[in-house]
Amino acid sequence: MISVVGIGPSREDMTLRALKTIEEADVVIGYKKYVNQIQDLIDDKEVLTKGMGQELMRAELAVQKSREGKKVALISSGDPGVFGMANVLFPVLGKYEDIKVEVIPGVSAVNFASSLLGAPLHDFAVISLSDLLTPLSEIKCKIKKACEADLVIAFYNPLSKTRKKPFQEALKILKEYKKLSTPLGLVKGGKDGTKVKVSSLEKLQQEEVDMSTIIIVGNSMSYVDDGWIITPRGYMVPYTTHPLALEFYEKYLSGEGVEGPNLSCEYYPCHSHPQNCTFCYCPFYPCGDQSTGGHWIKEKGVWSCEGCEWIHRDETAECIQAKLPSIIQNTDDLKKKKKELLKLRRECILNSEC
């Protein structure tokens, strides 16, 4: 039996299943650096290490030892299925018959990095910038498609001493497609421990990135709060509709609402001139999502829309008006159809109709 074991990013992050599998193995095969990570578990075992670039040799060795009737633990850092040993072993197995194999998942570097940055992942792509086996044209194409789909993107292997072009090309594409203010996190492993940095696309410097850095670049809704990167999923926040909002929507639904700038309002412009006042009371309140500029007044637990100019843009009002009548027919729907409303909000922010 060959068990391809994901040992995660560090000894502390191994799963119980991975621990048990290694404990029960007769032979442990892996890259020396990763095997050192589990030294305390393998003192009594046959240990075979091979260097970087000798992945196929490790896989063949695992097959050979398995055919001798040994229980083999083929070690992979992170998760074996995310740029790990599973993808090396399975094509090799095509040459042989009756080799039993199992894959023991581990905490991948992208999950580990994400946990240190907060909650940056929603729908996301994981792309390796190593062009050792993949042509640069393919890497660039994947980055462009991920940007077009507004995915959060996690980059593995961004840079080495001799391989800088893929990183430079990736940065060019990201800056072309994403806002320069897009939040970005860097998580770098090393002898001195793990370093974490929250930054933005605009500030990203080649010098702060190396082979062991994982870069996570947010999507157009990602924001930074208190040093954490957050990509919201759109959950509903409990709330009570303000009586003035109910009054506003009674009028709106009966066709008496004001469209465009309300110059007769004593508070105009409550944001900046010119502003569209069609949705003076936001149908999504309280969205609980800081990506458009709202925030919690922490001491009161109240959602403030003061910093949200998005709702007062012409294109936003147009997008909402096109769909709102199909969602709310009376003021009760502001609450009953909140999920639909929050989906409309995302649609209008992301302009996601393909």
List residues binding ligand SF4 (CB under 6 A).
Answer: 282, 284-287, 292, 294, 305, 308, 310-311, 345
Taking the complex as a whole, how short is the minimal distance between the CB of residue 207 and ligand SF4, in angstroms?
37
CA 152 to CA 184: how far, in whole Å?
A: 10
- For ligand SF4, which residue has the nearest CB? 294
CA 183 to CA 201: how far, in whole Å?
A: 7
CA 73 to CA 286: how far, in whole Å?
A: 51
Taking the complex as a whole, how short is the minimal distance between the CB of residue 306 and ligand SF4, in angstroms?
9
Q: Record the tokens describing residue 38, joined without a space.
A: 């589990």
Q: What is the b/e burial string over 297-306, where b = at least 16 CB atoms within 10 angstroms of the residue's CB?
A: eeeeeebebe
Q: Which is nearer to ligand SF4, 81 or 274 (by Cβ)? A: 274
Taking the complex as a whole, how short is the minimal distance between the CB of residue 284 and ligand SF4, in angstroms?
4
> How many residues are recorded in the chain?
354
Q: Which is nearer to ligand SF4, 80 or 294 (by Cβ)? A: 294
Taking the complex as a whole, how short is the minimal distance between the CB of residue 148 and ligand SF4, in angstroms?
24
Q: Which is nearer to ligand SF4, 141 or 302 (by Cβ)? A: 302
Q: Which is nearer to ligand SF4, 31 or 285 (by Cβ)? A: 285
Taking the complex as a whole, how short is the minimal distance between the CB of residue 285 and ligand SF4, in angstroms?
4
Q: Which is nearer to ligand SF4, 136 or 297 (by Cβ)? A: 297
8: left (phi over 0), alpha (psi -120 to 50) or beta: left
Angle at 352 between CA 185 and CA 147, to 5 degrees: 40
Please give the radius of gyration of the chain, using alpha carbons only, rounded to the nearest integer: 26
Taking the complex as a whole, how short is the minimal distance between the CB of residue 286 and ligand SF4, in angstroms?
5
Q: Which is nearer to ligand SF4, 177 or 296 (by Cβ)? A: 296
Q: Which is nearer to ligand SF4, 66 or 262 (by Cβ)? A: 262
Q: Which is nearer to ligand SF4, 78 or 294 (by Cβ)? A: 294
Under a CB-based contact definition with an 8 Å cutoff, are residues 190 and 161 in contact? no
DSSP assignment of 268-306, as one string? --SSSSS---TTSS-TT-S---GGGT-EEETTTTEEE-T
Contacts of 76 (CB under 8 A, 6+ apart): 4, 5, 6, 7, 30, 34, 84, 85, 86, 106
Taking the complex as a whole, how short is the minimal distance between the CB of residue 36 and ligand SF4, in angstroms?
50
CB atoms within 10 A of CB 215: 27
Give the type of residue at 186.
L
DSSP state of 228: E
Taking the complex as a whole, how short is the minimal distance between the CB of residue 30 and ligand SF4, in angstroms?
49
CA 13 to CA 19: how far, in whole Å?
A: 10
Q: What is the b/e burial string over 253-271, where b = at least 16 CB atoms within 10 angstroms of the residue's CB?
A: beeebbeebbeeeeeeeeb
Q: Which is nearer to ligand SF4, 185 or 232 (by Cβ)? A: 232
Taking the complex as a whole, how short is the minimal distance between the CB of residue 216 and ligand SF4, in angstroms?
24
